[in-house]
Chain A
């Protein structure tokens, strides 16, 4: 259980609290002092930082209570495989807001240094049938609760975490590509050649949570940016979308946000009749779609080619 404690501490320190345990400076009862309950849930890191308070007093604050945290150490492979306890990440994609600007895609490609031409986020021009409406459908990894890709992986290189995220350990992947065949959402890509990354990226130790740097001969895919979640921030695609198409959050907290708006997840999906892709396959995705009704933009497919006629 020791490892669990550590991960819990790191997560909470990073996300939950702007609340502070102030040590050493408080004189008398301070009305602005945080609740005892707050202090209880955080374990101090032991590293103290001296700051100036608004009253002009010098205070010492444990680094674990600082928010935002200036820098977080990368979690170990073992912790990255377990995930963040007590969380269940979900995404809601509002199809009525998407006009295929693909800012999500470029932000994702940049932040993960993906091979040029390949994409972890794809934006499909969709049309179910001849007389039904066309719409744009962005897809990320679905982070299925019963992931077919994880079932078939021979070496535990791709795995399902307790917070619902499916990740890839590129230091372990043997490149058999069974997971790519197993995924019905075509979400996985393979690094067919050396990526020629800039040295400062290529030399980084690989982290399952950042999925950087991608390595030749291994599989890559959308990772829901758990490194950002640990920092209490949103995935890159969510914050990059100017139209607020992507909403990300914790199902346990029952809320999702696109950065500017925050909704109760259960209400949003209920009121707007959210659904998941290929429900009949039993994969139980963590990505929900809101149907493309009352759309903000008309559907315009500038690069309309004959190849996109299938649903």
Chain B
């Protein structure tokens, strides 16, 4: 999950406010940063953040056009372009065109360049990462292990003394599997945790998704891996939705109400229709 959006979301100002504040001011420095993400060792993407110090406070800058490059700022190495959103973030998946450059070495650097705007001059940001993988496994007695490996030259080697978060995936959240949230890797690159969340609800089959994560690491960026385990309690969700209640949608009112209402309406309007019929009868009597 994109942690940066949360961390930097503390102060949102409307784009309008930002623009208004800039209208009078000199061009301000735009500061760009970039994070590397790799989830499940397959999907790799970059998230760029644009912020600027306005009135002594850092604020996220939306609508900045960014170009992403790999290794060097050459047209040939252009990965793609993206525009920052309200939170000042722009996301780009790493495309297959970067294959050759990516394979060159164990370390890769990424560069972002912003387009000049009315309020900001061109700015740059870059990050260098070492290729790494994380693997999550489970063993007997609900033991979870996470193995972290980095690429040294051409060999995947274990990494030690790195904090790995081991958790259960929830809605935009990671719930600790036990008291501590993170576990350090040993010389074999293995961090292990015991699952102590008894009877935690899973899906309908009782499945939980475990996740092992390295977050905001200076060398490796953000890595994560997931595994589904049947360790949860299976949940049958009961909902009042679409039952006949007073707060249900149209046509779903309680039967007693429908019976009562319709019988009253039918009775009263039956009388009225009968009386309208009587007017017709009066007319016929008058004509004859």
Contact = CB atoms under 8 A, between A and B. Distances in A.
- A, B assembled together: yes
Interface of A: 15-20, 22, 31-32, 34-35, 37-38, 41, 49-56, 58-59, 61, 66-68, 70, 81-83, 86, 88, 103, 106-107, 110-111, 145-147, 150-151, 156, 159-162, 198, 229, 232-234, 236, 239-240, 242, 248-250, 252-257, 259-260, 262-264
A257 B246 contact: no
Given A239-B9, A240-B10, A59 B42 contact: yes
Given A41-B203, A50-B96, A255-B168, 6 more contacts: A49-B93, A53-B42, A145-B240, A240-B12, A252-B235, A253-B170
Nearest to B197: A264
Nearest to B97: A52
A260 B247 contact: no
The 3 lowest CB-CB distance pairs between A and B, nearest first, are A257-B173, A162-B241, A32-B41
Contacts of A51: 42-44, 93-96
B256 interface: no
B43 A20 contact: yes
Interface in B35-52: 38-44
Given A66-B93, A250-B171, A260 B6 contact: yes
A285 to B, nearest CB: 13
B200 A15 contact: no
A49 to B, nearest CB: 7
Interface string B203-224: 1110101010000000000001
B171 A81 contact: no
11 contacts: A18-B224, A31-B135, A37-B205, A41-B203, A53-B41, A54-B131, A54-B133, A67-B1, A239-B9, A248-B172, A255-B168
B141 to A, nearest CB: 20
Contacts of B225: 32
A51 B97 CA distance: 9
B277 to A, nearest CB: 32
Contacts of B38: 54
Contact of A156 (B2, B39, B250): B250
Contact of B241 (A18, A83, A233): A83
Contact of B246 (A38, A151, A254): A151
Interface stretch (B22-30, B98-106, B184-192, B265-273): B98-106
Given A56-B102, A70-B91, A83-B241, A34 B6 contact: no
A229 B171 contact: yes
B239 interface: yes
B249 interface: yes
Interface string B9-25: 11111101000000000
Given A107-B12, A255-B171, A262-B174, A156 B249 contact: yes
B12 A110 contact: yes
Given A232-B171, A262-B176, A19 B209 contact: yes
Given A58-B99, A66-B93, A255-B171, A16 B209 contact: yes
A146 B241 CA distance: 11
A41 B204 CA distance: 11
Interface residues of B, number: 68
Contacts of A31: 135
A267 B102 CA distance: 46
A284 B42 CA distance: 44
A252 B201 contact: yes
A80 to B, nearest CB: 13
Given A54-B42, A249-B171, A242 B10 contact: yes
Given A16-B209, A160-B247, A67 B44 contact: no
A110 B17 CA distance: 10
A257 B172 contact: yes
Contact of A53 (B44, B167, B168, B172): B44
Contacts of B86: 111
Contacts of B9: 107, 239-240
B101 to A, nearest CB: 10
A22 B98 CA distance: 19
Contacts of A58: 96, 99
B175 A52 contact: no
B279 interface: no
Given A20-B42, A52-B102, A259 B133 contact: no
Contacts of A255: 168, 170-171, 173, 175
A15 B10 contact: no
Contact of A54 (B41, B172, B173, B227): B41
Contact of A103 (B5, B11, B211): B11
